Amino acid sequence: MKEKVCNKVAEIFEEISYEQIYEMMEIPTDEKMGDYAIPCFALAKLWHKNPVLIAKEMKEMLEPYSEELGIEKLENVGGYCNIFVNRAKYVEAIMEQMQQDFGVKKSGIGKTICMDYSSPNIAKNFHVGHLRTTIIGNSLYKLHEKQGYQVVRINHLGDWGTQFGKLIVAYKNWSSKEAVEENGIEELMRIYVKFNTEKDVHPELMEEARAWFVRMEQNDEEALAIWNWFKEISMVEYERVYKLLGVSFDSYIGESFYRDKVPALVAELEEKGLLKESQGAKIIDLSEYDMAPCLITKSDGGSIYHSRDIAAILYRKKTYDFEKCLYVTGSEQSLHFKQVFKAIELMGYEWHDSLVHVPYGLVSLEGAKLSTRTGNIVYAEDILKEATERAMKAIQEKNPNLPDKETVAKQVGVGAVIFHDLYNQRIKNVNFSWDEVLSFEGTTGPYVQYTYARAKSILRKCGGMQEMTSIDYGALTDDISFTLVKTLLGYEEAIANAVERYEPSVVARYLIALATAFNRFYHECPILQADETKKQARLLLVDMVQQVIKDACGLLDMECPEEM
């Protein structure tokens, strides 16, 4: 209906296009001002005419087409042409549109997106910081997939670098095979923290660490055997957390995979005249772009983050021919990705602008930065298990006879953690607080899940949705029902907005708006006690709401319990 109105306005006023009118059209914050409004202030500059007169003229010229366009009435207030739709026709149009995958446009069909997220460092416990990239990245994957994109989920493991030299030194000095086998990643974490304490007193430890990493780079059998062992131990830990979250990946190719591809990269950079030597290292000078140099090889000839990331980009483009490649990492890595993307541009690859860094804010613990080196961390698995236990406690208090309590407790607990992260804009820093994360009141995941369970309960009480031959959409034109229908219409726009901005919080906030509108509808519009005409229409609305909640929760990777 909005499109029809825009087409008609563009037809009447030939000086402006459909696209211009579509961009201009607003939804008034006060429903008394109409369902849509066309502000005429921009047109006043174009036509050198008072916006009040333009709004009046627009109203008068649209009125003869009101019935054709589904308009109930038109008003001009100030410089606005306010449009009130024919509610019955509007509701019918929306409900029919929602039947086709909720009106979501499949703009990504035939296009591939590579998405690099989670990517923990091997031999370090999976902490709350890793949880952010995993939750945000997984939601972005689901959102893009919803629009029809083929998404390649890449877990670019941090499995190479001097830190493994440090870990080998720490293992040789302060641990044993038995201790690592018994305590796994906890033991690796303990000795890593100890190394970083001891190196300040014994600087020679760093020389030993660098020497062990050089042995790794030279394919030393002992060094690689220890490294592979640490990697296997780490993957067991990570898979356990991913299983709790319901997350999986298409590729676990980490940094180590690209080390033998760096020599070809160096040769290409040399050929293109992009490399300079600096204190024995090879760099790309980016001073012209107000950036620090992009380090390609160290003075000992070894690869570095930048060179391995550039090699990874070239490999992914060749392998997947991506439309875009997204990197979901902390905002502190923004400079790194600017350097890497600039290197791709300078190499002459026209598709350099398809590389996107999606930064997120840092996580702190009671105001202190999380750090594996100092041991100031909160483990992801502990958060998820604690959340599940608190959910179980709430179930025991409020609904002890609930079937399959363990499953519901996991769905609610894990859902609470995910929603808490995704509700806020990703770029905002997060000060981790157990009470906030695990709160089940207010704008939370459990509130949304409970709304879904309430809708399902209504449908169960009437024996489920029956075949409806005809619906009187006029039964959904009261203010409260109509607001709920209009909120449903916002789902497609929320998805499109979230994808465009790489911002899952748009969908999370949409869910709160939908749940709030539904709960008001539930309390003020009798459903099962209404006369048959209203009952059938309202049940159809309830059914559509529960479908949208479940679908939207799925985009955040939350499950919806049938009962709570």
Catalytic positions: 124, 127, 130
Kind of pairing between the strands at 80-85 and 36-39: antiparallel
Nearest-Å Rg of the Cα atoms of the chain is 29
What are residue 355's DSSP bridge partners?
325
Contact between 196 and 238 under an 8 Å Cβ cutoff? The reply is: no
For 367, left (φ over 0), alpha (ψ -120 to 50), or beta? Answer: left
Residue 540 has phi, psi (to 5 degrees) of -60, -40
In 3D space, the residue among 294, 268, 297 whose CA is nearest the CA of residue 282 turns out to be: 297
| 232 contact partners, CB below 8 Å, separation of at least 6 | none
CA-based angle 237:241:246, to the nearest 5? 140
Contact between 114 and 317 under an 8 Å Cβ cutoff? The reply is: no
Neighbours of 98 (CB within 10 A): 20
The count of residues in the chain is 564
Neighbours of 259 (CB within 10 A): 17
DSSP state of 465: P
Kind of pairing between the strands at 281-284 and 294-297: antiparallel
Q: What is the DSSP string of 470-488?
A: ---GGGG-SHHHHHHHHHH
Contact between 519 and 471 under an 8 Å Cβ cutoff? The reply is: no
What CA–CA distance (Å, rounded) separates 296 from 304? 6
What CA–CA distance (Å, rounded) separates 76 from 82? 6
C-alpha distances (whole Å) from 515 to each of 348, 419, 545 are 49, 14, 9
- Record the tokens describing residue 82, joined without a space: 């306010």
In 3D space, the residue among 101, 81, 68, 79 whose CA is nearest the CA of residue 35 turns out to be: 81
Q: How many Å separate Cα 552 from the centre of its chain?
A: 12
In 3D space, the residue among 540, 523, 520, 544 whose CA is nearest the CA of residue 532 turns out to be: 540
What CA–CA distance (Å, rounded) separates 369 from 505? 24
Q: What is the DSSP string of 65-81?
A: GHHHHTEEEEEEETTEE
What CA–CA distance (Å, rounded) separates 538 from 461? 14
3-state SS string over 254-283? Answer: CHHHHHHHHHHHHHHHHHCCCEEEECCEEE
CA-based angle 235:239:240, to the nearest 5? 120
What CA–CA distance (Å, rounded) separates 487 from 502? 22
CA-based angle 514:519:522, to the nearest 5? 125
